[in-house]
Amino acid sequence: MNKIFLFLAAMCMLVACDPVSEDISNDGNITLDQLKQQSSVSLKGNEIFCTTSAPVNAKWTIDDKDFLGNYAWKKTKLGEHNVLLTALCADGTILTNNYPLTVTEITNPLEKFYIYGGPDRPEDQPFSPGAWDAGAMRFSSTEGKYFPTIDDAIYFGKKTLIFDISDATDDCYGRVMNGWWSARYDDDIDVHFTNGLWELPITDKMANECAKGGEGRDLDLMITSGSCTINSVYYEE
């Protein structure tokens, strides 16, 4: 329900800033069938293209990332993906439609942007965080031991952080929280750190509480049992 109210608020701001958006036909309402007829999602290799000409305020959600507006584009990975179109009509009616997709080939590869480690950062060496050491994986240039502060654009862009992990023991678990220990982002259940690429999507709550443009509490991961080696951290787009 909170997400609906936030969406309504965002849409109201969008309409207030753009008087043209208020000129909605169909007596201020359209049907779901009309929305489907006037909207399309296409896949070209690993690129998703979304568009709607429906007279509504639109929000596209591609793999949980929101794009406000009639158009959206995103590069993706191989595998299953979901696109959701949420439409707000002038009379307050909300319509939604799903577009499941399967990416089978990469034609425009995702680019890696390293936060820690990587070929262009030889000074960032693999490390093994100690159990209950909250400073080892705190993303802070002043409070953390290894990771730099994350840019607000990464937080509010809701990037997915990808951790390259090795030497993880079977009992390697930990918390996803902030540097003040005032909130957890793992539903209060320790997450399992495994070998390979371990992903952590940044949520609105994490961005608002951890970004410097928010409450500035820094994203923090902490090992609570077992051990592992962190080789690098990056996001892709």
**pTM for the complete prediction?**
0.77
Q: What pLDDT digit, counting tens, does each position of 173-221 carry?
A: 999 999 999 999 999 999 999 999 999 999 999 999 999 999 999 999 9
Confidence of residue 81 (pLDDT cuts 50, 70, 90): very high
Read out DSSP for the chain? -HHHHHHHHHHHHHHHH-GGGG---GGG---HHHHHHTEEEEEETTEEEEEE-SSSEEEEEETTEEEESSEEEEE--SEEEEEEEEEE-TTS-EEEEEEEEEE---SSPPPEEEEE-STT-TT---B-PPTT-TTTEE--TTT-SSPPPPPHHHHHTT-EEEEEEES--TT-EEEEEETTSS-BSSTTS-EE--SEEEEEEPPHHHHHHHSTTTT---EEEEEEES--EEEEEEEE-
